[in-house]
Structure 1
Amino acid sequence: MTRTLDPTSAAPNVTTRQRSLAAVLLAVGVPMFMVTLDNLVVTNALPVIKTELGASLGDLQWFVNAYTLSFASLLLTAAALGDRFGRRRMFLVGIAVFTLASAACALATEPWLLIAARAVQGFGGAAVMPLSLTLLSAAVPDRLRNAAIGAWGGISGLGVAVGPLVGGAVVDGLSWHWIFWLNVPIGIVALPLAALVLNESFGATQRLDPLGLLLASGGVLALVWGVVHGADDGWTSTGVLSALIGGGVLLCALIAWELRTPTPMLPLRLFSSRAFGLANVVSFTFAVGVFGSIFLLAQYFQVVQGLSPLESGVRTMPWTLAPMVVAPIAGALVDRVGARTLLTLGQAMLAAALGWMAAVTTVDMSYGAVVGPFLLAGVGMGLTFAPASTVVMSVVPADRAIASGTNSTIREVGVAMGVAILASIFATYGAYTDPHQYVDGLIPAIRVGAIVVAIGAIVSAALPRKIVAVGLPLP
């Protein structure tokens, strides 16, 4: 056993225990899978929850967005707390909070109770996601780092991708409450596993940025609220306009503050790296287009074709299982092929797949019509996770926690914005009242998702061929 210095800290780490890559991947992967699973685990359960809790379309969006927004708003703060108080310690706190909040979700009897519990889940997840990647990166030698990140991307992609399938299976076999109860035993196992396997480490201690946190979370929340309510309340209504304008003002104030404060929550100087900035733009457009589409597509087979949640989940398997196979391969190939090539190809595949789905979707569509685009989307998704993470972590090796937290924050904000924007387009043209109305709203929403992802493909093509690490002077 050895005592080492964290490259981001002048203080020594606690005693370092040598663990195998498999053990470390298991320790960070189990809780990360649990957290990423809950991004979309509710999607196939939404029609059932809508009926049992008497939820509205707005409630359905908030069942997803309450989680992603709280998740996004605290990612960077959780990373900073990990630097100060110990990354493993904050990782364990995140697992515990997430597990307890999952039990609260399972016990919810009203829409607002489920929304509130999902928000607390997001707080716990915010401590797990970025720190899992930071702890993994610190635990493996440089020669294995890209392969480890590829495996991490595969686990993350699997959690996101199988969410609809797991949700459908549990709802069909038990009840929707069990999609949350399942997290409790996983969390109970994950806590001692992570405590036993992972080494404690610290980063450069700096002051927290509570004003930045308030401006960021308030601005994004206001914008998403305005988009969610725009279709129903009217885009020119006082409440919606106030939310949209207020959100924009808060985000402008955030940029001004982060440029001024010596200890920013979101170090904007990171974006002086073209590779870092473009990779985060791609992460955002990917999240908006893909996850906004999944929110609606996951409900299609139940609402339109009358299938059970499990039957619906099984039909999405060509899409959901492909990332599990493709993401690790992409991670292993990223040094040889280049992140730009893999990311551009992945976004192009996803845009083509969404456009294909919009073209073939009808009320009486056969399943065979969507197998092709589902497979194409799954491969594109798998080509996205690891290369994007590799670019972000390679550009700023001096502080991987901040780099990972920034990227995860932008992606989760993209998920929330995607669900809000595409659901708003759906509400403008369609409704849940009958299958034809649902398809009428689904098609234009997916088309917009395809356009957004296509923009990401164009942006990713502008990434530099060779990603060069930069020594940005972080505070």
Structure 2
Amino acid sequence: MPPFTALQRRVVVAAILASFVTFLDGTVVTVALPAISRELGGGIVTQQWVVDAYLITLSALILLAGSVSDAYGRVTVMRIGLIAFGAASVAVAAAPDPLILIIARAAQGAAGALLVPSSLAMITATMRGELQSRAIGVWTAFTTGAQLVGPLMGGLFVDLISWRFVFLINVLPITANLILLGRLRLPDRHRSVRVDWASGIICAIGLGALVFALIEQERLGWGAPAIWMPGAAGIALLVVFLLRQRGSDAALMPLALFRVRNFGWGNLATLFVYAALSLNGFVIGVYLQQGPGLSATAAGLASLPITVLMIMLSSRAGAWAGRFGPRPFMTFGPLLMALGALLLLTVDAEFDYWWQVLPAMLVLGLGLSLTVAPLTAAILGAIDEERSGIASAVNNAVSRVAGLLVVALLSTIVGGALDLDGFHSAAFATAALFAIGGAVSWIGIRRNPSEHPAEEPAEA
């Protein structure tokens, strides 16, 4: 396989730095949640909202951002997103109460929505085939590593300084990427694309209303008008959103994309795998502090083996998937992660990290390393370059919505309290979600047409 050109290397670095801050901030908060609730109050509900406020705007607006990226240029959109994300991060760090914190987190998510689709679209626009798979593997290793190293970095800041500094970690990569983008000299193509702003707003309000009902129902009950009315309105708005996509010539989520086999089945697998990852990350980061009483730093260190394995193996898994096809990796990887989640059932009142948690982290890390790069390559490699921005946005929106909904359902999954029994319930749910993701991949994923030039595109 030929090496990356100098331009391609710079594109990969720029894509990694842009996505790094959004993935980092999505997970770095996890170990800070107990400290945030101690200082600002609100208990588990505040903890859920601090996570989901970010995911609501990121999930909903990432679809809009895909079209904006295609219409106004990927480099331009990335610059705007980086500056806005940095400003929102400062606002989060300075928040005096839960409401301001949650609003600032929502602003962070909105800015982050501009970054991920434009970064992946830059990769898919400058390279194809095995080279693209390898580039996505490198991108995956570092961006997923950001998700996994986030709890460690957050723990150090919480223990040594303050939870507020957790949200200022991304200032350095934002600054570095703005400098790199100024030197990249990448053609920033603009297209005559109509952006459907109304659909973006409908999707955001619909997701927000539904998540409000899912989180607050534990406190008020499903029978309360303050719960069932927003829940019903949210579902109705999401149905309206899908109907608009079906008949729109400027769809934020073109439903025709899902007729491409690997894109449709790959996004279904994404839904289950990323729901499991979000549930596992939240529960590990919070329970290890509130249950066994570990420090925030120790809780962050718990997932470090996953990070190490991701950095070591993800780029190789991406290259292997380009050579042998993504199906075996997308099947075996999630099944391996399901086994890792079940190993967490060994955690008991007599806590021992080395025998009860570390084996699970190693198995989870190996499974995740085999899964994520092939999954991303299978989905984006199935779509032509002209629609790469919107395809990337749809896939990232699916992964964020998965995390959004599973965190909103956290109280239901753990039985109202994240104690030992709740932790075990979450481990069962995580294993089930991973296993379903593996089964979906086995049923639906095939090699992309670009890997078999003589074959016609496989459509469902």
What is the 5 A alignment of 1:65-464? 65-140=52-127, 142-202=129-189, 204-357=191-344, 359-367=345-353, 368-398=355-385, 399-426=387-414, 428-430=415-417, 438-464=419-445
Deviations 1:211-240 (A, max 9, x none): 321222222222211111122211232222
Whether contact under 8 Å (1:75, 1:409) holds in the other structure is yes
* Cα distance in 2 for residues equivalent to 1:325 and 1:228: 37
2:432 alignment partner, SS class: helix
Superposed displacement of residue 189, structure 1: 2.3
Whether contact under 8 Å (1:209, 1:265) holds in the other structure is yes
1:454 alignment partner, SS class: helix
Whether contact under 8 Å (1:223, 1:244) holds in the other structure is yes
Structure 1 residues 397, 305: CA separation in 2 closer, same or farther (over 3 Å shift)? same
Whether contact under 8 Å (2:275, 2:433) holds in the other structure is yes
Whether contact under 8 Å (1:89, 1:200) holds in the other structure is no
Deviations 1:236-287 (A, max 9, x none): 3222222222222122222211111221111001111222111001111111
Q: Which residue of 2 aligns with 1:50?
A: 37
Structure 1 residues 198, 411: CA separation in 2 closer, same or farther (over 3 Å shift)? farther
Tell me, which stretches of 5 or more residues in structure 2 are unaligned?
451-455
* Cα distance in 1 for residues equivalent to 2:268 and 2:445: 14
Aligned residue pairs: how many? 447
Taking structure 2 as the reference length, the TM-score comes to 0.93
Deviations 1:415-474 (A, max 9, x none): 111111234322x3425xxxxxx11222212212221221111111112432226789xx
1:200 alignment partner, SS class: coil
Superposed displacement of residue 140, structure 1: 3.5
- The amino acid across from 1:202 in the alignment is R
1:376 alignment partner, SS class: helix
Taking structure 1 as the reference length, the TM-score comes to 0.90
Whether contact under 8 Å (2:272, 2:402) holds in the other structure is yes
* Cα distance in 2 for residues equivalent to 1:361 and 1:279: 33
* Cα distance in 1 for residues equivalent to 2:187 and 2:88: 25
* Cα distance in 2 for residues equivalent to 1:30 and 1:369: 34
Tell me, which stretches of 5 or more residues in structure 1 are unaligned?
1-17, 432-437
Superposed displacement of residue 340, structure 1: 0.9
Structure 1 residues 80, 102: CA separation in 2 closer, same or farther (over 3 Å shift)? same
Aligned Cα RMSD in Å?
Answer: 1.9
Q: Which residue of 2 aligns with 1:6?
A: none
Structure 1 residues 274, 22: CA separation in 2 closer, same or farther (over 3 Å shift)? closer
* Cα distance in 1 for residues equivalent to 2:189 and 2:412: 43
Whether contact under 8 Å (1:45, 1:168) holds in the other structure is yes
- The amino acid across from 1:86 in the alignment is G
Whether contact under 8 Å (1:24, 1:198) holds in the other structure is no
* Cα distance in 2 for residues equivalent to 1:120 and 1:471: 39
Give aligned-pair identity as a percent.
30
Whether contact under 8 Å (2:70, 2:390) holds in the other structure is no
Superposed displacement of residue 195, structure 1: 2.1
* Cα distance in 1 for residues equivalent to 2:276 and 2:209: 20
* Cα distance in 1 for residues equivalent to 2:308 and 2:207: 31
Structure 1 residues 296, 196: CA separation in 2 closer, same or farther (over 3 Å shift)? same
* Cα distance in 1 for residues equivalent to 2:326 and 2:39: 45
Deviations 1:50-92 (A, max 9, x none): 1111132111111111111111111121121222222100111
1:461 alignment partner, SS class: helix
Whether contact under 8 Å (1:231, 1:425) holds in the other structure is no
1:149 alignment partner, SS class: helix
Superposed displacement of residue 141, structure 1: 5.7
Q: Which residue of 1 aligns with 2:447?
A: 466
- The amino acid across from 1:449 in the alignment is T
Whether contact under 8 Å (2:78, 2:114) holds in the other structure is yes
Structure 1 residues 248, 141: CA separation in 2 closer, same or farther (over 3 Å shift)? closer
Q: Which residue of 2 aligns with 1:29?
A: 16
- The amino acid across from 1:468 in the alignment is P
